[in-house]
Chains A and B, each alone.
Chain A
């Protein structure tokens, strides 16, 4: 992985490319088998076009323009067709796809497309998961690059993997140790409390009392969160 290499944090392309490269490295380590069909088709189209150009260059160089005019005309048409197909493939089919892979354990197929907007340091992912029984699910993620790049431009693996494992179920399933419950959920817990309760806990804290999290919050409390109350209790 590119974690030893430092990039310029002001280059959006560098940020995106490094993150794009980290995706397959991480996912392939989680027994995902990467499919290279998209890339291979792109390379085949591109290199065929390049080959046609090389051949044109050869016959033009050896036999001159006049005697190879028709051949060159054919080559130009073929080249523009191939180039058109390549452009269509990149814009219409790949659409920024950086990873396609199927997990050998769960059978989930995952497709990840990434993109960035000009001048906005956000990593935008579109993750499409297709489970074994054919259920499709698309999830859009939008994160700031600074979450996994330090100020010197070094890529930090852990938060990046955590971000993926936590927000995509198909990845979280096979990498449970990185699948932390999301931050939003914690915030939700707090948000669910009424203003009075918050004041009460604050007052209690300042008074040095042990605060117990309210139990009546339904589903969110059933997940074992690293309880704030406990930590505060320790402090107190």
Chain B
């Protein structure tokens, strides 16, 4: 490690290895984003409102293109509400109209009432542009790590530190 610092090319190469791991992960994420046309093509379930289909920590893959047909009733969509940071995963239960103008209503499988109360004040329906994708594939539990990380921020620091240490310490 110390000898590497004496040789600028080797130091640069070692730094590059670390940088390329990070950047490849980021570019794969972005690649997935542009393919699925969704700003966030993989999401982690945070609430139990879609139980028993999805539990907290499950990983969902999203698709946000309407190649063959429009987003329709019965699909599970992830949407943003104005003024709220965290997107919501719920099922589309009503749709009035076509295309961008269509008025959409959602409901969680595990909730008794529809989502009207979750929407912004005075908003009765969401629109297609509020949706960041429909769920197309599912892997259980894998996303629980991110929930742990966000609920215990110190874990994040520890993990990043360990990862950095391991990558810098060893070549290859």
Contact = CB atoms under 8 A, between A and B. Distances in A.
B150 interface: no
29 contacts: A5-B3, A13-B170, A13-B171, A21-B3, A21-B7, A42-B13, A43-B12, A43-B13, A43-B16, A46-B19, A46-B20, A47-B12, A49-B23, A50-B16, A50-B19, A56-B26, A56-B27, A57-B26, A66-B39, A72-B30, A72-B33, A72-B34, A75-B30, A76-B27, A76-B31, A79-B23, A80-B27, A80-B31, A83-B20
A64 B24 CA distance: 20
Given A76-B34, A79-B27, A5 B2 contact: yes
B30 A56 contact: yes
Contact of B16 (A36, A46, A60): A46
Interface string B74-118: 000000000000000000000000000000000000000000000
B133 to A, nearest CB: 12
Interface string A22-63: 000000000000001001101100110110011011001000
A17 interface: yes
Contact of A83 (B2, B24, B30, B33): B24
A15 to B, nearest CB: 12
Interface of B: 2-3, 7, 9-10, 12-13, 16, 19-20, 22-24, 26-27, 30-31, 33-34, 37, 39, 170-172
A65 interface: yes
A73 interface: yes
Nearest to A51: B23
A195 B90 CA distance: 90
Contact of B23 (A17, A50, A60): A50
A34 to B, nearest CB: 10
A69 interface: yes
A75 B24 CA distance: 12
The number of chain A residues touching the other chain, given as a range, is 20 to 34
Contacts of A60: 30
B27 A53 contact: yes
A203 interface: no
A202 B102 CA distance: 103
A60 B20 CA distance: 18
A43 B20 contact: no
A222 to B, nearest CB: 43
A233 interface: no
Given A46-B20, A50-B23, A73-B34, A65 B39 contact: yes
Contacts of B27: 53, 56, 75-76, 79-80
Contacts of A66: 39
B34 A2 contact: no
A80 B24 CA distance: 9
Contact of B172 (A13, A47, A80): A13
A9 to B, nearest CB: 16
Interface string A61-96: 000111001001101100110010000000000000
B1 to A, nearest CB: 9
A117 B24 CA distance: 27
Nearest to B132: A65
Given A21-B3, A76-B34, A43 B9 contact: yes
Contact of A39 (B9, B24, B39): B9
A49 B21 CA distance: 11
A64 B33 CA distance: 12
Contacts of A56: 26-27, 30
A83 B37 CA distance: 23
A16 B26 CA distance: 31
Interface in A200-214: none
